[in-house]
Amino acid sequence: MARKIVITSGKGGVGKTTLAVNLGVALSKRGERVIVCDADFGLNNADVIAGVENLVNYDIVDVIEGRCRGAQALVRHPAYGNLYLLASHSAPERYISPQALKLVLEGLAPKYDFILVDCPAGIDEGFHRAVACADEAIVVTTPHLPALRDADKVITVLKSYEMQKISFIANMVRGDLLVSGQSLSVKELESILKVPLLGIVPDAYDLYLNRLDESAKAFKVLASNLITGKRKLPDVTSRYKGLTGAIRRYFKSGL
């Protein structure tokens, strides 16, 4: 039976969809059967980030309205055989109830290990619909105060749901700024959000360019933490320490 995990944030653009897809890739490479469900109706783009937009024939609304079965709507990733995408619908005016989406995912859950639900930004209807489908939540934040404030608000709302687990991922972490003390440390992030840290993902050129699987190391650790419940963190600062590290920091300081 799949663990149904909503990937949420509050603030937009912090990397929810990028993390959902890349975490899905990492889990699938460990042999886990994974569905990434795009629950961002209207501004859906998980299919694009996964690189399967041309393979989508049916979406969630087709399943809800009986035009196909749940399994028929899944797009199997051509490069990662255990990874499937359940595409969203791009018409924002359509009303989709939380119960309808929940039923679709519950129908698929027995044959999969993970369903990662990509949530829209904000805490309105779309957020509640995505959250209502899940048993666990991962809150994505960047190490910036506006994102943290929104993440904190989202965590407060999530606590009113009966979630089995709530954790957070710090995304776009910059090792150079951590070393120079200009970025909030992992400890500071944990003390602000007061839920367990699942892992960190560095600010990476490959992720910025949406090159799937190029930041495999960070997501491998993340997938392992999710499965084992342990907490390992990739070292994002080592290349910015010492003399060569100082030179790298100098060249990155203008970015």
Ligand X SMILES: Nc1ncnc2c1ncn2[C@@H]1O[C@H](COP(=O)(O)OP(=O)(O)OP(=O)(O)O)[C@@H](O)[C@H]1O
By CB under 6 A, residue 42 contacts ligand X: no
Q: Which stretch binds ligand X (CB under 6 A): 160-168, 182-190, 199-207, 240-248?
A: 199-207
Cβ density class 174-207: b for 16+ within 10 Å, e for less: bbbbbbeeebbebeebeebbebebbbbbbbbeeb
By CB under 6 A, residue 88 contacts ligand X: no
**Shortest spacing between CB 149 and Mg ion, in angstroms:** 19
For Mg ion, give the closer residue by CB, 48 or 227. 48
- Residue from 28, 88, 171, 183 in contact with ligand X (CB under 6 A): 171
By CB under 6 A, residue 16 contacts ligand X: yes
Residue 173 DSSP one-character state: E
For Mg ion, give the closer residue by CB, 4 or 16. 16
Q: Which stretch binds ligand X (CB under 6 A): 73-81, 153-161, 176-184, 200-208?
A: 200-208
CB 188 within 8 A of CB 47: no
CB 50 within 8 A of CB 27: no
By CB under 6 A, residue 131 contacts ligand X: no
What is each CA distance from 53 to 33, 44, 62, 76, 92, in whole angstroms?
20, 11, 16, 11, 18
Residues 6-25 that bind Mg ion (CB under 5 A): 16-17
Of 116, 219, 227, the closest CA to residue 169 belongs to 219
- How big is the chain, counted in residues? 255
Cα–Cα dist 85/27, whole Å: 14
Catalog residues that contact ligand X under the rule CB under 6 A. 9, 12-18, 40, 121, 171-172, 201, 203-204, 207-208, 210
Catalog residues that contact Mg ion under the rule CB under 5 A. 16-17
